[in-house]
Chains A and B, each alone.
Chain A
């Protein structure tokens, strides 16, 4: 924002926008985010006190099983729970989402809409259903560009669209631009979705299970593409997945969600080499590995995901956890806090340090 009249006071200040005093220094900072849906059966606490930060140029992987609140988290960062949609209109959202010094939860809906698609963009799981079947791929990307570049002519927008399609690896983009989504293959559709998300050069990109709906061979290509584009554009990226393998090579940090909460968070290598939470151990155990047959296959996580209306008491994971005996009943009664367990490494578990280390090195790691 440029100031037309410069007073001496204004001249002393930074040339950029004023930051609110309590604004965090990180590019993206989510603080105690809660997203609750009142329903006939009770309040669904889809996200319940989630916090994390992310810098530009970095990638955060959010991992968790189905229903752990990953999509709800990403949709609420984009403010999509506040618009239209009948089912989620009454969502109760609290906490803070700071994007580049601007708080979004309390921000004006029009302001958030303005940022949406421009400064923050999203790629969805199923590119077939995520594109309108009646509009051509080009029309949909052109529209995304022109919402935020109202002065751009149709011709410019089309040129930009073809460039983007080319950039994401669509062959003959000047011809394919007029195709309809159903004429694209699954992988190409996801590439087109990526082109649509990146057409306005967003500084935050959220990819919600971008490869789940795709063939295994195409999955790797799409992940490579996202990585390359991130290097090129330098944006902050959140990759959401239920498969740790997907983010193994991509993410700088990993956040593990369980029942709408973060149960472990840390740098990627740490999560893979010294995970501290039994649920993360289970996730690692259920990772498919291509390099060798796992002989003594670890049991992945037994049991079913918790009810988000009535979370289990104490540690929400306790009904499925094999180590509750080691906590003297705390697992069933006391909600474990997210505590520092290493450098930039947090975990929420009552197990003592010695127990955790022994179980990991003796029981879990050898079988992985």
Chain B
């Protein structure tokens, strides 16, 4: 198990390095292709030539791509200094550089956006896990019942209705028309109750989409598992049906759900773009959209790497859990 863990951690490190190289490559190539000058973006249109050259040098934009990538990595791990003559700006690790637009450091910006996205993702994922797998299980056990059919029709609707539709609908009903719920993000640490009240709509909207997928996945998996020989063995032992399902069947049903959940939660922390946009939540996804529309490359690079980090970590956690659940993975 320890060897497995170490191997996986090495994998993660390599993967992150590869992702950073690719993103950085794109970051470097985009201005070339669009004919825009990053240095110019920093100083603004009205700047004179000398100022632009100064910035170019200060930001290291006059160096080769390899050098720039190395400096970027160095900035991530130990921080870096941007100097222009005697004017030295220190950017401490992890340094993602400065926004073109606001000239603010990217890293604090990311840290500032993260709690919003985490709040959204965590609440929604709890809801969809409970509701989605719950209805999936009931549907599978009561196959072809009215409940099963109703659930599956709802699930189909959930899968096919876009977030901005359900989201805007929910907003207009519950916030604008009925006025039952507010829609201004409040930090959890400031007021947990208000935090939840403000997030409940985005949670449910997002969870509806995912719960639908999970219900279908759970139902299909459980039905398949129930046909397995070892379920028949469990029954042949004289186990009660609730034990057969609860212990033997659900244990196997969990694994594919776990895999999908890892991917989903990772991707979601990377940015629930549509939901954040719809509900005006200033999270990572919102920031990404903003940055893209303004060609704010350092921010795009930061958000992308940050997102990649979460996706990879979520996968790592899933794989580790998988190894705990399935001895065949653990023991090779």
- Please list the residues of chain A having a beta carbon within 8 angstroms of any beta carbon in chain B: 75, 78, 80, 83-87, 113-118, 121-122, 124, 126, 129-136, 140, 143-144, 147-148, 180, 182-183, 196
Contacts of B231 in A (CB 8 A): 84-85
Contacts of B227 in A (CB 8 A): 85-87
B179-201: CB near A (< 8 Å → 1, else 0) gives 00000000000000000000000
B325 proximal to A (CB < 8 A): yes
Is A136's CB under 8 angstroms from B235's CB?
no
B223 proximal to A (CB < 8 A): yes
Q: Which of B288-329 contact A (CB under 8 A)?
A: 325-328
B230 proximal to A (CB < 8 A): yes
| CB-based A-B contact count at 8 angstroms | 88
Asked whether A131 and B230 contact (CB < 8 A) given A86-B223, A180-B327, the answer is: yes
B90 proximal to A (CB < 8 A): no
Is B236's CB under 8 angstroms from A80's CB?
yes
How many chain B residues have a CB neighbour from A under 8 Å?
A: 28
B252 proximal to A (CB < 8 A): yes
Is A80's CB under 8 angstroms from B235's CB?
yes
Select which of B228, B232, B245, B326 is within 8 A of A80 by beta carbon: B232
Among residues of B, the one whose C-beta sits closest to the C-beta of A87 is B227
Shortest distance in angstroms between B244's beta carbon and chain A's nearest beta carbon?
Answer: 7
B233 proximal to A (CB < 8 A): yes
Shortest distance in angstroms between B262's beta carbon and chain A's nearest beta carbon?
Answer: 18
Select which of A118, A131, A180 is within 8 A of B233 by beta carbon: A131
Please measure, in the bound complex, the distance between the C-alpha atom of A121 and the C-alpha atom of B248, giving whole angstroms.
19
Asked whether A132 and B248 contact (CB < 8 A) given A84-B226, A85-B232, the answer is: yes
Contacts of B223 in A (CB 8 A): 86
Select which of A87, A133, A148 is within 8 A of B326 by beta carbon: A133
Is B230's CB under 8 angstroms from A129's CB?
yes
Among residues of B, the one whose C-beta sits closest to the C-beta of A113 is B238
Q: What are 27 A-B interface contacts by the 8 Å CB criterion? A: A80-B235, A80-B236, A83-B235, A84-B235, A85-B227, A85-B231, A85-B232, A86-B223, A115-B238, A116-B235, A116-B237, A116-B238, A117-B237, A122-B236, A124-B232, A129-B228, A129-B230, A132-B230, A132-B248, A133-B230, A133-B327, A134-B251, A134-B326, A134-B327, A135-B251, A182-B327, A196-B237
Please measure, in the bound complex, the distance between the C-alpha atom of A131 and the C-alpha atom of B327, giving whole angstroms.
13
Is B327's CB under 8 angstroms from A116's CB?
no
B271-298: CB near A (< 8 Å → 1, else 0) gives 0000000000000000000000000000
Query: Given A130-B232, A132-B234, A133-B230, 18 other A-B contacts at CB below 8 A?
Result: A84-B226, A84-B235, A85-B232, A86-B143, A117-B237, A117-B239, A124-B229, A129-B230, A131-B230, A132-B233, A132-B248, A133-B326, A133-B327, A134-B252, A140-B233, A147-B238, A182-B327, A182-B328
